[in-house]
């Protein structure tokens, strides 16, 4: 919903806004603004933020287990750093106005800034993870997690290592990440740029056209072959014969072993040096994916092209049933009011994680800046948090997530002319709980009536109350009570004030089924 509000602003505000104003207002002027977020963005609050933070925490822990160190880079880069790295998607980059003689753009992903960071700091080997926002001037589909401002969670390995060893571990991280977030029904579509480029070469595609044809093939996950073939022949200058030959290959998919065996026996492809190198690397990879136990998640799919220009080897993306567009997507798109509308009705979630190998990007930056050649191979994976979030939100248990972490609400009950409300005493108890790492709250009022305190406790979602009774507290006693409608008639138990931290911790541990809290159950899909 868009709300318009009118603000009364002083004259000096408008004088600063426009020094050339013909007539200054005498007292106040009206400024109207639309209370909405920009297209493709949204505010995040309450339970949604709790879930997002849990996703970040889960992935951060995973990255640390694999030896990752975290970095942060500016949200904008020099325009020349991002230029020419994203193929046809370069049109989606947000360019900024010239500020102080530098042309800058908002970062499109976290990969190119990472390669720039490695080249700039002469790093020879690093495992890094980075969780941050990126920006794309794309058509949004908000309910599907396709936005213009969104988080990516990246893990990359840079350095010279034995062939395909880092690639195998990255695929394991991809599987561990998604299963750790309760996503079990997914498939990793995998291909190899050298094999794909080799296929294009033997089919008659000129080297200068390879990237253009790759971007066309990459649309096969949401576009029929006939439409892709038409793009190749009518828009990108390929012959019918070339397109048909490509079609015979890019329709192949199956297990790593199946497709590797099929391609290895192909007499035409076996004459191509690039394809042979790619097949040798896949042969090595199969040993490692088997060791990591992730083979069953992988589909060797020759239609996957990953349009980004910087990929040089293995490429992959994780998809689920929700990734594909709905049935009749093209008709639904025609019915949409305009291109400015949200595209949720006719697009799918898309890939929920993706990545690949990019061996030349660091060296490209080193050479372009006049430094000596610095060939640092890299491979990585990026998790799309908003798209993963949209899948997690579909789980019914999300309704049980409370927006605060409050575990205990500290109350005080009493009466009479001498009743002070025990506000300092409630503060003292809350402080004890905070020092023990227990999330606690209390009402910010000296004499808060019981109903107001219970309403505040209910709003916080706290499962426990520590109650300071007027007489009981003077005797060194506190009352510990479960909160919630089902416990309305339960007066709780009387405990020694000195034992409050110990007993509260014990009680909290017993509240969750199998010791797992609601957020963890939702995130892991338990």
d(CA 409, CA 468): 11
Contact 483, 465 (CB under 8 A): yes
Contact 128, 142 (CB under 8 A): no
d(CA 104, CA 98): 7
User: Left (φ > 0), alpha (ψ -120 to 50) or beta: where does 525 sit?
Assistant: left
Cα radius of gyration rounded to whole Å, the chain: 29
The torsion of the CA quartet 366, 368, 371, 376, rounded to 10 degrees, works out to 20
Residues belonging to the binding site for L-histidine are 109-111, 136, 152, 156, 306, 310-311
d(CA 457, CA 462): 6
Contact 363, 159 (CB under 8 A): no
Residue with tokens 């102080």, as numbered in its chain: 100
* Integer CA distances (angstroms), 160 to 126, 165, 281, in order: 10, 10, 15
Q: Which two tokens stand for residue 126?
A: 């690093």
Residues belonging to the binding site are 109-111, 136, 152, 156, 306, 310-311
Which residue from 362, 358, 377, 378 is spatially nearest to 312, judged by alpha carbons? 358
Residues 6+ apart with CB under 8 A from 76: 96, 104, 105, 106, 107
Which residue from 150, 156, 147, 151 is spatially nearest to 112, judged by alpha carbons? 156
d(CA 399, CA 223): 36
Residue with tokens 């000596």, as numbered in its chain: 372
Which residue from 174, 143, 236, 242 is spatially nearest to 202, judged by alpha carbons? 242
d(CA 322, CA 499): 51
The end-to-end CA distance of the chain, in Å, is 35
Beta bridge partners of 192: 314
Q: Which two tokens stand for residue 7?
A: 């603000």
Q: Which two tokens stand for residue 73?
A: 């880079």
Contact 148, 136 (CB under 8 A): yes
Residue with tokens 């066309």, as numbered in its chain: 216
| 202 membership: H or E segment, kind and range | helix 193-202
Q: Which two tokens stand for residue 134?
A: 């990126």
């Amino acid at each position: 919903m868009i709300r318009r509000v009118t603000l009364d602003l002083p004259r000096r505000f408008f004088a600063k806004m426009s020094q050339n104003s013909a007539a200054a207002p005498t007292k106040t002027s009206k400024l109207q603004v639309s209370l909405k977020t920009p297209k493709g963005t949204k505010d995040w609050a309450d339970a949604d933020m709790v879930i997002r933070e849990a996703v970040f925490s889960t992935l951060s822990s995973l990255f640390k287990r694999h030896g990752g160190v975290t970095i942060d880079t500016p949200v904008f880069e020099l325009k020349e750093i991002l230029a020419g790295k994203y193929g046809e998607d370069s049109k989606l980059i947000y360019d900024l106005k010239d500020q102080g003689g530098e042309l800058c753009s908002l970062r499109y992903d976290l990969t190119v800034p990472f390669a720039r960071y490695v080249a700039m700091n002469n790093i020879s080997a690093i495992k890094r993870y980075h969780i941050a926002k990126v920006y794309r001037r794309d058509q949004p589909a908000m309910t599907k997690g396709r936005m213009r401002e969104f988080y990516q969670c990246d893990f990359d390995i840079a350095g010279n290592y034995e062939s395909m060893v880092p690639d195998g571990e990255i695929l394991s991280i991809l599987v561990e990440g998604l299963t750790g977030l309760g996503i079990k029904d997914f498939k990793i579509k995998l291909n190899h740029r050298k094999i794909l480029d080799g296929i294009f070469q033997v089919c008659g595609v000129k080297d200068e056209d390879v990237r253009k044809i790759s971007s066309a093939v990459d649309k096969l996950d949401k576009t029929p072959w006939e439409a892709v073939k038409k793009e190749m022949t009518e828009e990108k200058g390929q012959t019918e014969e070339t397109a048909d030959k490509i079609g015979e290959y890019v329709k192949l998919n199956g297990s790593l072993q199946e497709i590797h065996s099929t391609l290895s026996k192909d007499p035409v492809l076996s004459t191509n040096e690039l394809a042979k190198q790619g097949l040798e690397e896949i042969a090595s990879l199969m040993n490692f994916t088997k060791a990591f136990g992730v083979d069953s998640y992988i589909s060797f799919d020759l239609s996957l092209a990953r349009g980004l220009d910087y990929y040089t080897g293995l490429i992959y993306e994780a998809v689920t049933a929700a990734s594909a567009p709905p049935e009749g997507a093209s008709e639904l798109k025609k019915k949409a009011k305009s291109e400015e509308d949200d595209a949720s009705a006719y697009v799918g979630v898309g890939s929920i994680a993706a990545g690949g190998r990019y061996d030349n990007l660091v060296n490209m930056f080193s050479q372009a800046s006049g430094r000596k050649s610095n060939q640092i191979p890299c491979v990585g994976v990026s998790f799309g948090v908003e798209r993963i979030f949209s899948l997690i939100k579909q789980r019914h248990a999300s309704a049980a997530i409370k927006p605060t972490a409050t575990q205990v609400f500290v109350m005080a009950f009493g009466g009479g002319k001498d009743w002070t409300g025990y506000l300092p005493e409630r503060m003292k108890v809350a402080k004890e709980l905070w020092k023990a790492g227990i999330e606690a709250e209390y009402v910010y009022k000296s004499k808060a009536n019981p109903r107001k305190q219970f309403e505040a406790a209910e709003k916080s979602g706290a499962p426990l109350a520590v109650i300071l009774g007027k007489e009981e507290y003077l005797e060194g006693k506190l009352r510990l009570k479960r909160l919630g409608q089902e416990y309305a008639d339960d007066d709780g138990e009387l405990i020694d004030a000195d034992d409050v931290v110990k007993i509260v911790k014990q009680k909290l541990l017993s509240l969750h089924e199998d010791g797992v809290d609601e957020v963890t159950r939702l995130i892991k899909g338990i």
